[in-house]
Amino acid sequence: MTDNQDFPRLVSLACHDLRTPLATVYGFARTLLRTEDLGEPTGRYVGMIEAASVQLGSLLDDLGLAARIEAGRYEPVVQERDTLELAQAAAERAGERVAASGDGAPVETDSEPVERALASLAVAAQRHGAVELVRLDVSGLAIAIAPVTAAAAPVVMARELKDLGAAVALRVLAALNVDVTLNGDALTVRFG
């Protein structure tokens, strides 16, 4: 590979090519869950295959987006959203251990990648900090993700590359000119 654009293209191609077998695995798992009384533990195992397929699809989305950003081919689809709506959507994506509240403000941004980025940062804070609940506290154009423990901070800030979602989240937010700072145990995401 001679061009620094080759690696992001390779990553994009890999993400694209992995989608077909992943879709097959996911599709058959869903079909089995809907059409068969599988009993235990088979039903639980097929449910785990379906959930893992969804998670893998999300990771491929993140990796493909990172490749587009690195190659300079990311074209944001900007629309107006409220920061509280973004935080609530992110909390829903992240699961039951993440909650969002506060008072939002309108912002022009690429909603879907921002929601995924906020969710990824919250999940990284929860997973790597071993905390029960992560809050997304919204105040106007700022969303504070807390707590970010001392153990989780290097991972959440991608100083230690141990979480793909967090690393891609920071790239997405930087590409959208969104400021991310860590102050104490709160990661503040501020839209300009």
Full domain range(s) for residue 171: 79-190
Please check the confidence at residue 10 and state whether its pLDDT lies above 80.
no
**Alpha carbons 53 and 30: distance in angstroms, whole number:** 10
Claim to verify: residue 134 and residue 85 sit in the same structural domain: yes
Query: What's the CATH code of the domain at 182?
Result: 3.30.565.10
How many domains does one find in the chain? 2
For the ranges 39-48, 133-142, 145-154, which has the lowest average pLDDT? Answer: 39-48
Residue 176 lies in a domain: yes
Indicate if 28 and 119 belong to the same structural domain: no
Task: Indicate if 50 and 108 belong to the same structural domain.
Answer: no
Residues of the chain with pLDDT > 90: what percent? 62
Question: Tokens 């145990």 identify what position?
Answer: 185
pLDDT, residue 1, reads 43
Residues 48 and 112 both lie in one domain: no
pLDDT band, residue 44 (cuts 50/70/90): confident
3-state secondary structure of 93: helix
Whether 48 and 117 share a structural domain: no
In this structure, is residue 57 part of a structural domain?
yes
Same domain, 57 and 85: no
Domain final residue, candidates 43, 70, 97: 70
Kindly state whether residue 1 falls inside one of the protein's structural domains. no
Q: Which of 146, 138, 139, 157 is nearest to 122 (CA)?
A: 146
d(CA 97, CA 117): 16
Specify the higher pLDDT residue, 40 or 126: 126
Note whether 65 and 89 are same-domain residues: no
Which among 187, 178, 176 has a CA at the least distance from the CA of 154? Answer: 187
Whether residues 144 and 50 fall in one domain = no
Strands (E), the chain: 79-82, 98-104, 106-109, 134-140, 142-146, 179-183, 186-190
Question: What is the domain-level CATH number for residue 36?
Answer: 1.10.287
Instruction: Give 189's strand partners.
Output: 143, 180
Q: Tell me: do 88 and 122 sit in the same domain.
A: yes
144 within 8 A of 188, measured Cβ to Cβ: yes
Query: Residues 14, 107: one domain?
Result: no
Range with the poorest average pLDDT among 8-12, 86-90, 131-135, 178-182: 8-12
**The last residue of a domain, from among 70, 91, 124:** 70
What values do phi and psi take at 89, rounded to 5?
-65, -40
Closest to 189 (Cα-Cα) out of 153, 133, 146, 155: 146
What does the alpha-carbon distance between residue 101 and residue 122 come to, in Å, rounded to a whole number? Answer: 14
Residues 129 and 152 in one domain: yes
pLDDT band at 43 (very low <50, low <70, confident <90, very high): confident
What is the pLDDT at residue 2? 46
- Structure confidence by residue, pLDDT tens digits, 60-105: 888 888 888 888 889 999 999 999 999 999 999 998 899 999 999 9
**pLDDT tens digits, residue range 118-137?**
999 999 999 999 999 999 99
